[in-house]
Structure 1
Amino acid sequence: MSKQTTSSREEKSTQAPAERSCDVVISGGGLVGLTLAAALSGAGLSVEVVDAQEPRKVLSAPFDGRASAIAAGSRHILEGIGLWSLVADKAEAIEEIRVSDGRIERRASPFFLHYDSEELGLGPLGHIVENRDLRRGLHQLLSSRKTFRLHAPDLVVDSQRDANGARVILDSGVEIRAALVVAAEGRNSPLRRAAGIPVRTWQYRQHGLVCTLEHERPHHGVAHEHFLPSGPFAVLPLRDDDAGRHRSSLVWTERPELAERMMALAPKDFAWEVQRRFGDTLGQFSVEGPRWSYPLSLLHAQRYHDTRLALLGDAAHVIHPIAGQGFNLGLRDVAALAECIVDTRRLGLDIGADAVLERYERWRRFDNMMLAGITDGLNRLFSNDIPPVRLARDLGFAAVERTPGLKRFFMRHAMGLVGDLPRLTRGEPL
């Protein structure tokens, strides 16, 4: 039995609450939570999502500068749930990735890695899509699903879960009975805390700076990642805007004290600092829309489930953004959990049973822990300017670049096409 309460519940009316029932309740209506809702409702399960944000406000919000990297395997997932056709014309393909060991205002290392999609012949390495387009596409997709319901703005204020089922009470007074509750509330998940699931966490001495850049020259679908002493500095291709202006998404890792100073700069001066670090490949930069800064951390839940509760996405794991894999890990969680649930339902069994959730955890734990370890190790390896370490990593770049088989493996891994993949990730129907 697990409970989660807040004082706001005590302030509600004493009227009898409305009662509802469904197969799955998802707490959190972000990109990962709504993607799971789309996968399950498309397979015929009834799903209710609870989210704190007002939908009309979220969907009408101006461009906020944030975008997500969608690996090839993740694109298969979005295709399988019917979302990709709604966002494809807004997605920019990543045809090449150029990785280099950079220096600020000094000659860059001659060693680098160059990934070219033509070497594999599997299509683009991935895509970059603005988060607002993903949100709008998910809401459009789910609006026509009769087995889907959104409670927003609202909150889960109490949950009771046992062998017989789950019951959640919302701040609005609505009560929902379900076979399974999914926590997709992000790194500070209240349901995870209420269930007493411990987490291992590490705070990096780094902040992530995110915004959209306009630039004079076209990017030709090339993603750039420079490793600077403060951390990775990535410029990722976005679709040109309606006026034909060339754009890219910036993900800049910086020390906290310097990140604060960068955020305080006027947009023109901020763009100049970007130019210092990136160079003139794309011509002159300017900043489009707002800038975001957030502390970077690593988090991993010691388990991904409790009685009739599954953790999804950032509620289960948070990794360094060095390889742009955080959202892709969340989408692979979606594909795995959806497959476990749907297969169990087709057998006529209990979708919230411990055996189902244990299968989900076994499936996803290794992949998530491996990526957390890899991104943490890469960040530590590259976020310094120690000459012997710099030489070793540059020689490593050169070795991979000159070993075609190894490079193709790394490319397939970055595309999310390696490992024990769920059906959706393989491009097969759920």
Structure 2
Amino acid sequence: MPKRSFSDVEFKEGSNSGSCEMNEVMSSTITKDEEYDIAIVGGGMVGLALACRLSSMPLTKELSVAIIDSNPALKSRVHFKKDEVPHPRVSTLTPATISFFKEVGAWEYIEQHRHAYFDQMQVWDYSGLGYTRYHARDVGKEYLGCVVENMVLCDALLSCLQVLFFSYPVQPMGDSSRVASSGNTIEPTHNGSSVKLCLSNGKNLYAKLVVGADGAKSHVREMAGLKTTGWNYPQNAVICTVEHSVENHCAWQRFLPSGPIALLPIGDKFSNIVWTMTPEESSTHKSMTRDAFVEAVNYALDYGYSSHPQSSFLDEFVHRISSLSGYGTASMAEHFQVPLKVTDLVSERMTFPLSLRHALEYASKRVVLVGDAAHVVHPLAGQGVNLGFGDAAALSEVIDEGLRVGADIGELSLLKRYERERQAANLTMMAVLDGFQKAYLMDFAPLNFLRAVAFHGAQFITPLKRNIVSYAMGEQKWPLFT
């Protein structure tokens, strides 16, 4: 029977020797010098999703897997109360990601808790020159996505692992002492068949493959010598939970001079705000009174900066071209809608800086990166975690294919297949998001007109709208006309 264990440890670089070490917070079923097929460093959403997927496939479920993380939530499930206010940290899951969760058996747990499907989305900008409304029916679907609290996602994946992994006893916290391995990279064994991870209590864990799922500041990536490229945006994101007088069923996004603001349904009468702005503005908005913040949100989503987009000569022009070409969309007659008014701020306001980072390589021998350890994107369109879940799905498939032909799961040539597939997909999405982000930070009259043309084209031209929606839903590999 394969071993599947949780070791709640922190993976960090030693301060003196520059070596790889783990500061143990809790120990579980790992005993001294145990060997595993796969060690997943990072028990967040993507790391847990990978573990679920590996445990749900016929061949990979026979592998022994250890999850290494200091997250205390791994000890037990969270008990949610129906009347609790949703947490500000949420994820917008695409239909492709939802299918992944259903395949591994985790979606049934999400459906037991608060979540919000949405079948419509409206996007517009501060100029008042154009807007686009998307509807699931444009691509013959029931919904465009589903918004779920991150805590619910993690709990669902843990619940799934309790079934797939049978049990994972956790010992109480004990005294720890630091033990470092030699060198400044993850240490291979003498015969190269595995790598050694050193725990702070003197125990060693050996694995044929180490998966870095430990986030944007990945120690696994650093220790494996995998370089990154990217930049910091001159922006922060402010996130919070707000309330309406009625339930919201639409995702709203408006591009403002300092960045987009998104209003996402989260269930009941609650919505989630993701508001991108300068660091100075984020500090101001975080410290202002609750009533003032609510007023600022409604101003940004409704009448601020310009009037609502109205019918214009551009509408008539694009409508006529679309009709003559036979490419008119059934939803082209949908008019601009004013977003639901926010009535109250019901959670704390959280801020975090925005950046773009991408690993030049996702893999080295016996080490591979997934999720934010491999790529960090702008939160525009909420695609970041979906890219991570795509990594988990692709890596599990590559490992499964390797097992079918008797390959070593840590062999670089096998891991490079995963890298090629995911780098192409991730870089494309990153380029799209970065392009949108930069285009809307420029207030230039000709560019404003071109943006309006793009909005109207997406609103009235069926093939274009279908491609945009399908790509955003994760059901199309490339953004346009594939």
The two structures have a TM-score, normalised by structure 2, of 0.78
Runs of 4+ with deviation above 4 angstroms = 7-12, 60-63, 147-158
Q: Aligned pair 1:137/2:156, yes or no? A: yes
Q: Partners in 1 of 2:64 and 2:445 — Cα distance?
A: 58
The 1:79–1:17 alpha-carbon spacing in structure 2 relative to 1, beyond 3 Å, is: closer
Aligned to 1:226: 254
The 1:283–1:265 alpha-carbon spacing in structure 2 relative to 1, beyond 3 Å, is: same
Q: Partners in 1 of 2:106 and 2:264 — Cα distance?
A: 22
Alignment match of 2:14 (pick from 6, 28, 51): 6
What pairs with 1:6-405 in structure 2 (closer than 5 Å)? 6=14, 18-43=32-57, 44=61, 45-55=63-73, 56=75, 59=78, 64-89=87-112, 90-102=114-126, 108-109=128-129, 111-146=130-165, 159-161=186-188, 163-219=192-248, 221-240=249-268, 246-279=269-302, 281-405=339-463
Question: Does the CA-based 8 Å contact 2:179-2:202 persist in structure 1?
Answer: no
CA RMSD of aligned residues (A): 2.7
Question: Does the CA-based 8 Å contact 2:98-2:107 persist in structure 1?
Answer: yes
Is there any run of 5+ residues in structure 1 with no aligned partner, and where? 241-245, 421-430
Shift of 1:122: 2.3
Q: Partners in 2 of 1:150 and 1:323 — Cα distance?
A: 39
Shift of 1:267: 2.4
* CA deviation string 1:233-279 (max 9, x = no partner): 11011111xxxxx0111110001111111111222222221111113
Shift of 1:386: 2.2
The residue identity in structure 1 corresponding to 2:111 is A
The 1:84–1:11 alpha-carbon spacing in structure 2 relative to 1, beyond 3 Å, is: closer
Q: Partners in 1 of 2:118 and 2:466 — Cα distance?
A: 16
* CA deviation string 1:112-138 (max 9, x = no partner): 111111122122111101111111111
* CA deviation string 1:383-417 (max 9, x = no partner): 23322211110111112212101110111001000
The 1:150–1:222 alpha-carbon spacing in structure 2 relative to 1, beyond 3 Å, is: farther
Q: Partners in 2 of 1:138 and 1:171 — Cα distance?
A: 28
Shift of 1:148: 7.6
The 1:268–1:150 alpha-carbon spacing in structure 2 relative to 1, beyond 3 Å, is: farther
* CA deviation string 1:205-253 (max 9, x = no partner): 000111111111322x21001010111111011111xxxxx01111100
Highest CA radius of gyration, 1 or 2? 2
The residue identity in structure 2 corresponding to 1:214 is E
Q: Partners in 2 of 1:270 and 1:173 — Cα distance?
A: 51
The residue identity in structure 2 corresponding to 1:170 is L
Is there any run of 5+ residues in structure 2 with no aligned partner, and where? 1-10, 25-29, 303-337
The 1:58–1:191 alpha-carbon spacing in structure 2 relative to 1, beyond 3 Å, is: farther
Shift of 1:34: 0.5
Question: Does the CA-based 8 Å contact 1:19-1:176 persist in structure 2?
Answer: yes
The two structures have a TM-score, normalised by structure 1, of 0.87
User: Per the alignment, in what secondary structure is the counterpart of residue 79 of structure 1?
Assistant: helix
Taking every aligned residue pair, what percent have the same amino acid on both sides? 32
